[in-house]
A and B are shown apart, each in its own frame.
Chain A
């Protein structure tokens, strides 16, 4: 099983090999997820960047970025130069020593939203964990904050939360009145964690479902199975577009990113750094957002006239939402993941 899990993405990647004609500078291989990210990446990110620099781009796709890098580095046969990772994977890969430190003398870090770049991975788009509610159930006053999410007297109804502690601990503490600025200080203490778990314990009689995938919570909201849930902004936007009685708020949304990294021992490491620097600009990220419901992590992307105000409404990194947006502390999760998830599962099965 171990091997299938690691080899399948690699095989899938090989199957999807696509090569653009090489001209001058050399070639870099980009390993990205498929679907909308691939379409947007080709049109807005590596496509234009490769043309501008005269670098040919070889494309491979996988939905398991980090396992693919582990496999390549472990086998001593690294073919990918640039890889798309979740920020959590970027941090983990850096600690495992399978990623090159990024060269921030080439890549301009200053234009990014704070907290969306790290030593090993530079943000490319962001998505948020937000709360969504059924607009028929709550036709009068709409919930606005995580405190409303946990307030079953003011907003009675069926709730759903994630069957995985990640982002739910943050939501619970915000729901218990912890200010965003102190969130990770409170989470650093055992009392803080217990406080978060107790908040969810108190809500448990109203939690009808513990969701485990984005498809699931999107469907629950569209079907009216659940009155209020935590989940990912793109799924709720989709449910709303499909005609579901759904609304959501970016207020106190918890932002995570996908990011670009360079595997340790990448064959064209220096070109990869140049490519990442070239792709990391406001226009590219703005164009990219047209393909996905993910938001640019370079704030300037919203002010160059590429994203109109209507389209900007559904993007979590819209500067208009920035006061309420919380950037997830990925390092904290990496340090505490196992312990917190075990505590969460104990609470869930009580």
Chain B
């Protein structure tokens, strides 16, 4: 395992290099960052603060926690949060189960065939979300393709309830999220030093053992990054759950839209946004911690 020690050793070294750059005596690198930071502040931080501001007033414009109390008092909010997080987690699981083997395969290909596959993966990204959601409806609904085939083949007598539930929602979201998951994972897998795999093989490790003990741990940061990306994006999904969930899957984004369009209650909508943002940040922190721990363990192994 001495070979993997070298690789694990270089990662923190590179990180340290960056750190000295930032915390070095010169402030000049900061100046170059200023325009970028200003844009981030204007486009990200300021709207978030505005959201917080909006959420802290009641209908009459008085400072109040009423918008947050409502989130606690009304049970449907809790259920909607749970549903959204569950559906997002299921989407992540589906992406990992489908994406990791596929990424492994693509990463093992030569440049030209890999480019072909990556192109094929990216292609659906250019199709509108709405079109893809309705396409699934055509396939899954009661008189849809799947049910019609199964019925005419005599496999089933009654149409299966495929559409308008968690299943169809997760399916539709996985379809949209898979390319977004694959890209960082393929990148991470391509960066793995092939000599490490050969080293493991030369020391008598079987192919599955090498895959499990050498390849996957090295790809883990990419997998965690992809999974985090998918999870965070899934939390804000609107179109897919609205169409494929058929009202049986209530996502947070749908509630926010309803608060705005039918109640025109910006305070309530902003409060949901704030809570969603905070819970997402908390999850990101946990994910970061897991990554740190994973890296720490990989590094600690050869000390």
Using a CB–CB cutoff of 8 Å, the interface residues on chain A facing chain B are 1-2, 5, 67, 158, 163-164, 208-212, 223-225, 337-338, 341-342, 345-346, 348-350
Residues in chain B near residue A212, CB distance under 8 A: 242, 247
Q: Report if A164-B142 is in contact (Cβ < 8 Å); known contacts: A210-B246, A210-B247, A349-B80.
A: no
* Nearest CB of A to B243, in Å: 9
Bound-state CA distance A103–B161 (Å) is 56
A209 touches B248 (CB 8 A): yes
Please report whether the interface of chain A is mostly helix, strand, loop or mixed according to DSSP.
mixed
* Nearest CB of B to A170, in Å: 17
Residues in chain B near residue A346, CB distance under 8 A: 74-76
B260 touches A348 (CB 8 A): no
* Nearest CB of B to A324, in Å: 28
A224 touches B262 (CB 8 A): no
The chain B residue with its CB closest to the CB of A162 is B247
16 contacts between A and B (CB under 8 A): A67-B264, A158-B142, A209-B246, A209-B247, A209-B248, A211-B247, A212-B247, A224-B142, A337-B263, A345-B74, A345-B76, A345-B250, A346-B74, A346-B76, A349-B79, A349-B250
* Nearest CB of A to B141, in Å: 5
Bound-state CA distance A59–B201 (Å) is 79
A342 touches B143 (CB 8 A): no
A225 touches B76 (CB 8 A): no
B161 touches A349 (CB 8 A): no
The chain A residue with its CB closest to the CB of B165 is A208
Q: Given known contacts A209-B248, A224-B143, A349-B76, what 6 new A-B pairs fall within 8 Å (CB)? A: A1-B260, A67-B264, A208-B164, A209-B247, A337-B263, A349-B80
A342 touches B74 (CB 8 A): yes
* Cβ-defined partner of B260 (8 Å) among A5, A163, A350: A5
Q: Which residues of B149-185 have CB atoms within 8 Å of chain A's CB atoms?
A: 161, 164
Is there a chain A Cβ closer than 8 Å to B83's Cβ?
A: yes
* Nearest CB of A to B91, in Å: 20
* Cβ-defined partner of B250 (8 Å) among A67, A158, A164, A348: A348
B262 touches A164 (CB 8 A): yes
* Nearest CB of A to B298, in Å: 43
Residues in chain B near residue A342, CB distance under 8 A: 74, 76
Q: Report if A2-B266 is in contact (Cβ < 8 Å); known contacts: A158-B142, A225-B143.
A: yes
* Nearest CB of B to A211, in Å: 7
Bound-state CA distance A91–B193 (Å) is 70
A208 touches B161 (CB 8 A): yes
B260 touches A223 (CB 8 A): no
The chain A residue with its CB closest to the CB of B264 is A67
The 8 A-B pairs at the shortest CB distance, nearest first, are namely: A210-B247, A209-B246, A349-B79, A345-B76, A163-B247, A349-B76, A346-B76, A209-B164
Residues in chain A near residue B142, CB distance under 8 A: 158, 224-225
Bound-state CA distance A346–B76 (Å) is 5
Bound-state CA distance A5–B248 (Å) is 27
Residues in chain A near residue B246, CB distance under 8 A: 208-210
Q: Report if A225-B75 is in contact (Cβ < 8 Å); known contacts: A348-B250, A349-B83.
A: no
The chain B residue with its CB closest to the CB of A223 is B143
Bound-state CA distance A348–B83 (Å) is 13
The chain A residue with its CB closest to the CB of B248 is A210
B74 touches A341 (CB 8 A): no
Bound-state CA distance A337–B260 (Å) is 14
Residues in chain A near residue B260, CB distance under 8 A: 1, 5
Bound-state CA distance A209–B137 (Å) is 13
The chain A residue with its CB closest to the CB of B73 is A342
* Nearest CB of B to A330, in Å: 15
* Nearest CB of B to A212, in Å: 7
A341 touches B247 (CB 8 A): no
Residues in chain A near residue B83, CB distance under 8 A: 349
* Nearest CB of B to A335, in Å: 14
* Nearest CB of B to A203, in Å: 14
* Nearest CB of B to A215, in Å: 12
Residues in chain B near residue A224, CB distance under 8 A: 142-143
Q: Which residues of B237-268 have CB atoms within 8 Å of chain A's CB atoms?
A: 242, 246-248, 250, 258, 260, 262-264, 266
Bound-state CA distance A233–B61 (Å) is 40
Residues in chain B near residue A337, CB distance under 8 A: 263
* Nearest CB of B to A146, in Å: 20
Residues in chain B near residue A209, CB distance under 8 A: 164, 246-248
Bound-state CA distance A44–B266 (Å) is 39
B141 touches A225 (CB 8 A): yes
* Nearest CB of A to B126, in Å: 25
* Nearest CB of A to B25, in Å: 44
* Cβ-defined partner of A348 (8 Å) among B76, B143, B242: B76
B247 touches A223 (CB 8 A): no
Bound-state CA distance A164–B257 (Å) is 13
* Cβ-defined partner of A338 (8 Å) among B79, B248, B263: B263
Most B CB atoms within 10 A — which of A2, A224, A346, A349? Answer: A349
Bound-state CA distance A164–B260 (Å) is 14
The chain A residue with its CB closest to the CB of B261 is A5
Residues in chain A near residue B143, CB distance under 8 A: 223-225
Contact pattern, B 69-81, Cβ under 8 Å of A = 1, otherwise 0: 0000011100110
Bound-state CA distance A2–B269 (Å) is 11
Residues in chain B near residue A208, CB distance under 8 A: 161, 164, 246
* Nearest CB of A to B136, in Å: 14
Residues in chain B near residue A338, CB distance under 8 A: 263
Bound-state CA distance A212–B260 (Å) is 15
Residues in chain A near residue B263, CB distance under 8 A: 337-338, 341
Bound-state CA distance A5–B269 (Å) is 14
* Cβ-defined partner of A341 (8 Å) among B75, B262, B264, B266: B262
Residues in chain A near residue B76, CB distance under 8 A: 342, 345-346, 348-349
Bound-state CA distance A224–B143 (Å) is 7
* Nearest CB of A to B250, in Å: 6
The chain B residue with its CB closest to the CB of A158 is B142
Residues in chain A near residue B80, CB distance under 8 A: 349
The chain A residue with its CB closest to the CB of B242 is A212
